[in-house]
Chain A
């Protein structure tokens, strides 16, 4: 599914990713942990094509297709979804309008028919109920005035409605209360399937109790410096990143 090899990237001329390699096969969930400023969010932006994140070397592909050559919306149409660490506010655009526009843009890009208005509303009602989001909230401008936790829930709602194939969750757990963490995790787990894969960026083992990873990687100094099974997350929780930062 996702294959990243010796990736180098810089922001404002400053090298952030320095030879990062990572493979996430279809059907698997991989967690990325690492100290603040290690480059985790940078990796998520490079994979989704944000302006200003300049790739200076290496490659990244999804199912063998060069991701880095595609525009952000083309990547989205291929099924790449990023749950933002800091979701953006979209003044004046009701959440429903935003999501419907995005969904239909993806469908058109894939040569599929657009979703009809009744189908869309039905989908929105079902998915928002799953995530315990008040449907009325979807009529408000997306994320404007939403609490931190509400914004994160809204990310997962968008994910559930767009039904992507490769999911990147950048600290989706931060800002969520205990109940919300479970609800959101259920939403994410519902998307686990043999055709999909996920990259879960987090600082906390707790999320990984709900979304059980197949592999855990440590990102430090712009590279993956250690990889292991789920037990690695426990080890990090106990001992911190000190020895990995030295390695980086």
Chain B
């Protein structure tokens, strides 16, 4: 059951539905009654958000193939990967990303759709020993689009993987990351931001499996939802038997700015090892009224005080982005959406 197999087989019966435990908040079966026609080949109409930051920009429009990203051992690279959907068709894209031993990669990924397309992108990202990857995902889908991004990440020993997903939702949007974590000095940081308005839906789902001892995972996801939007966070950390001294921390915090907005969160720790330090924190609430009044007493309008406080709330995640240029792009993108 996946959107990918449904698109491939042109069979809506294969869509994940709310009866599937980890899709219960992102029901595709109930939403997509008929799959649209396969998308026609097309060219991207405009520039991507990260074009200026990468020497190597690869674009998959409407499921067009992109050559695999291969970074040889010891190399350093910045690659922009654009997944563009034009029109209202259905399509699939898949990319392999392989990063050699000790290599460094900044992967600047964007999702850009302009209509009611239905698409899945699947990535397989493999880090050899000591590789360092920062993946920044900017998902700016169309309000009518249905989009699933599914990334499978395999970390080698001592590899470092730092991901930040920034999303504004779609009709249905699911950004899923699964990481196989070998422990042994490998470090994982999974961060996320969702800023949702109107009827947008965004789902950030992560599954991290620690298979070896001494692994580190840190996760922080923050969201702001208004109007009738819906944010979904599912974070699961599995610590296999014997993966002792795993250190895993997960935080999810959301601000709900209207009565009709909704946030569903499911942080899960599944621990089969004895000696671990794992914790999760989850809060969903409104902006602090006292802080708002304080800002207004100093002269800020209600709107300005709100955007200052929400930007600061989201800033905690954005400030962690290591790549300067990408952080600036994301920062501006966030500010534009929050100041609306």
Inter-subunit contact B299/A106 (CB<8 Å): yes
Judged by a CB distance under 8 angstroms, whether B57 is at the interface is no
Given A92-B315, A93-B308; A76-B299 close (CB under 8 Å): yes
CB contact between A105 and one of B294, B300, B309, B313 (< 8 Å): that residue: B300
**Which residues of A are found within 8 Å of B295, using beta-carbon distances?**
90, 98, 101-102
Inter-subunit contact B290/A102 (CB<8 Å): no
**Which residues of A are found within 8 Å of B300, using beta-carbon distances?**
73, 101-102, 105
Given A72-B293, A77-B299; A101-B312 close (CB under 8 Å): no
Contact with B along A62-95 (1 / 0, CB 8 A): 0000000001110111000110100111111100
**Which residues of B are found within 8 Å of A72, using beta-carbon distances?**
293, 296-297
**Which residues of A are found within 8 Å of B316, using beta-carbon distances?**
91-92
**Which residues of A are found within 8 Å of B289, using beta-carbon distances?**
51
Inter-subunit contact A88/B291 (CB<8 Å): yes
Cα separation A21 to B315 with both chains bound (whole Å): 45
Given A91-B312, A92-B315, A93-B308; A73-B302 close (CB under 8 Å): yes
**Which residues of B are found within 8 Å of A93, using beta-carbon distances?**
308-309, 312
Judged by a CB distance under 8 angstroms, whether B19 is at the interface is no
Most chain A beta-carbon contacts within 10 A, residue among B296, B297, B299, B308: B299
Inter-subunit contact A88/B312 (CB<8 Å): no
| Nearest-CB residue, chain B, relative to A109 | B299
Contact with B along A180-216 (1 / 0, CB 8 A): 0000000000000000000000000000000000000
Judged by a CB distance under 8 angstroms, whether B67 is at the interface is no
Judged by a CB distance under 8 angstroms, whether B304 is at the interface is yes
Judged by a CB distance under 8 angstroms, whether B301 is at the interface is yes
Inter-subunit contact A90/B299 (CB<8 Å): no
| Nearest-CB residue, chain A, relative to B304 | A105
Contact with B along A7-29 (1 / 0, CB 8 A): 00000000000000000000000
> B128 → chain A, closest Cβ, in Å?
37
| Nearest-CB residue, chain A, relative to B316 | A92
Given A72-B293, A88-B290, A90-B294; A102-B299 close (CB under 8 Å): yes
Q: How many residues of B sit at the interface, in one of the four size bands?
A: 20 to 34
Judged by a CB distance under 8 angstroms, whether A103 is at the interface is yes
Inter-subunit contact A71/B296 (CB<8 Å): yes
Most chain B beta-carbon contacts within 10 A, residue among A73, A76, A84: A73
**Which residues of B are found within 8 Å of A109, using beta-carbon distances?**
299
Judged by a CB distance under 8 angstroms, whether A172 is at the interface is no
Contact with B along A119-149 (1 / 0, CB 8 A): 0000000000000000000000100000000
Inter-subunit contact A92/B313 (CB<8 Å): yes
CB contact between A76 and one of B291, B298, B312 (< 8 Å): that residue: B298
Given A76-B299, A109-B299; A87-B304 close (CB under 8 Å): no
Inter-subunit contact A162/B298 (CB<8 Å): yes
Cα separation A99 to B87 with both chains bound (whole Å): 46
| Nearest-CB residue, chain B, relative to A80 | B297
**Which residues of B are found within 8 Å of A97, using beta-carbon distances?**
308
Inter-subunit contact A90/B293 (CB<8 Å): no
Inter-subunit contact A48/B297 (CB<8 Å): yes
| Nearest-CB residue, chain A, relative to B310 | A92
Cα separation A98 to B298 with both chains bound (whole Å): 9
Judged by a CB distance under 8 angstroms, whether A50 is at the interface is yes
Q: Which of B308-340 contact A (CB under 8 A)?
A: 308-309, 311-313, 315-316
> A242 → chain B, closest Cβ, in Å?
34
Given A77-B299, A102-B300, A103-B299; A87-B312 close (CB under 8 Å): no
Cα separation A141 to B291 with both chains bound (whole Å): 13
Cα separation A217 to B111 with both chains bound (whole Å): 65
> A147 → chain B, closest Cβ, in Å?
18
**Which residues of B are found within 8 Å of A92, using beta-carbon distances?**
311-313, 315-316
Apart from A81-B297, A105-B301, what are 5 other A-B pairs with CB-CB below 8 Å? A51-B289, A87-B294, A101-B295, A106-B298, A162-B298
Taking Cβ atoms with an 8 Å cutoff, the residues of B that contact A are 288-291, 293-302, 304-305, 308-309, 311-313, 315-316
Q: Which 5 A-B pairs have the closest CB atoms?
A: A92-B312, A102-B298, A106-B299, A76-B299, A72-B296
